[in-house]
Amino acid sequence: MEELTLPIQLYKGKKVGEWNIVDAQDLGNIYLVLLQKNGKTKIFYIRKPVIKAKSLQLSNDVYELWYKDFEDSKLLTLEEISNIDIVIENMNTLINTYSKFD
């Protein structure tokens, strides 16, 4: 199965709740997504396949959306990670889960 290449530059300028995506880069084995609001920054990584489909007889590779600030993550399928709206929705869920600690 061919590895997905995300159009990561399309993330720039999008919003995650009240947060603005100010930078998005392909760093080789991960994608970096930086969010900012009122001088604060949040960092997300999208790890390229953490589970290869063929290794567990799955229909899709599995990617990890990792919220660096709180060391939590969501596992997303190839289909989910390919949809920017689903990725942003999951980022928002992680931010809201930990908002009481900000």
Buried/exposed 44-64: b ≥16 CB within 10 Å, e otherwise = bbbbbbeeeeeeeeeebbbbb
Domain ranges of the chain: 8-101
DSSP letters along 12-55, please? TT-EETTEEEEEEEE-SSEEEEEEEETTEEEEEEEEEEEE-GGG
CA angle 24, 101, 44 (to 5 degrees): 15
Give residue 25's pLDDT.
Answer: 94
pTM of the predicted structure, to 2 decimals: 0.84
Q: Running along the chain, 102 residues long, what does each successive block of 10 average in pLDDT?
A: 72 95 93 95 87 65 87 88 93 92 78
Specify the DSSP class assigned to residue 61: -
